[in-house]
Amino acid sequence: MGKLEKAYFATKDNPSVKFLECLFNPKELNIEKSNHFAEVNIPGLESPIFQFVRGNARLVTVDLFFDTYEKREDVRTYTDIITGWEAGNTLNNQSPKKGLMDIDSDLHAPPICLFVWGAFIFQCIIEKVSKKFTMFLSNGTPVRATLNVTMKEYREVEAQVKEINPQSSDLTKSWVVTQGDSLWAIAAKEYGSPEDWRLIAKKNNIENPRILNPGQRLIIPVKE
């Protein structure tokens, strides 16, 4: 068996840095996809007809478990990295840090995130988190928590426009790898979705998507 890969969060602007590595991998991922239709009533018909309005973004929900009892440390040191620094750092008289749900001072919005678990890469915004603390030290410090995280898919407008325009004049391009590059970050830049990294891997005969060498030239195929 290979090495256990831990799920982690990163940001779209810095995909090679693990913002938070999960202490325990989730037991399941729930993925929801839906479309929005308008009901149009036609006089004389028994039931309305349905007119497609738009597709809705995919939703991924996951339960993340954190336990720091053996270390005897505040579990919010980890959970607040997602939800924002409600208490963890302020208990140590340090300046509060930014969490993944906090407003980024440069973006004026929370950052675009990547949830990565092996080959599953989901570019998203974190829409909602529910926290439940279930164990405490004698002084009231929480040491066990479960986070129910709801993530909504984020896709750039340019990428969506290309998909509905089959006559796009885009040609195959190349990419020279630099330090810190990853296939999913390149796919997010070129296709608007990190999940399309497999197109690049297949075109370049890459067996291990985690191994890229600086200076390596990749062919970026046209997405059909």
- Strand partners for 7: none
- Return the amino acid letter for 12: K
Quote the mean pLDDT of the chain: 84
Say how far apart CA 23 and CA 81 lie, in whole Å. 13
Sign of CA dihedral 21, 22, 25, 28: negative
**Better-predicted residue by pLDDT, 162 or 118:** 118
- Strand partners for 153: 124
The angle subtended at Cα 203 by Cα 201 and Cα 204, nearest 5°, is 65
Q: Is the pLDDT of residue 131 over 50?
A: yes
**Better-predicted residue by pLDDT, 93 or 47:** 47
Q: Is the pLDDT of residue 40 over 90?
A: no
What is the CATH number that goes with domain 8-154?
2.40.30
pLDDT score, position 34: 92
What is the CATH number that goes with domain 168-220?
3.10.350.10
Say how far apart CA 38 and CA 167 lie, in whole Å. 29
| Mean pLDDT calculated for residue range 198-204 | 90
- Outline where DSSP puts E strands in 68-206: 113-117, 120-136, 142-153, 173-176
Parts of the chain belonging to CATH 3.10.350.10: 168-220
34-43, 161-170, 187-196, 213-222: lowest mean pLDDT where? 161-170
Tens digits of per-residue pLDDT, 60-100? 999 999 999 999 999 998 999 998 876 544 445 455 567 89
The answer to whether the pTM exceeds 0.95 is: no
Say how far apart CA 71 and CA 90 lie, in whole Å. 19
pLDDT score, position 30: 94
| Mean pLDDT calculated for residue range 213-221 | 86
Which residue from 96, 107, 90, 84 is spatially nearest to 19, judged by alpha carbons? Answer: 84
pLDDT score, position 126: 94
The angle subtended at Cα 223 by Cα 219 and Cα 224, nearest 5°, is 135
**Better-predicted residue by pLDDT, 150 or 38:** 150
Cβ neighbours of residue 160 closer than 8 Å, sequence gap 6 or more: 192
pLDDT band at 149 (very low <50, low <70, confident <90, very high): very high
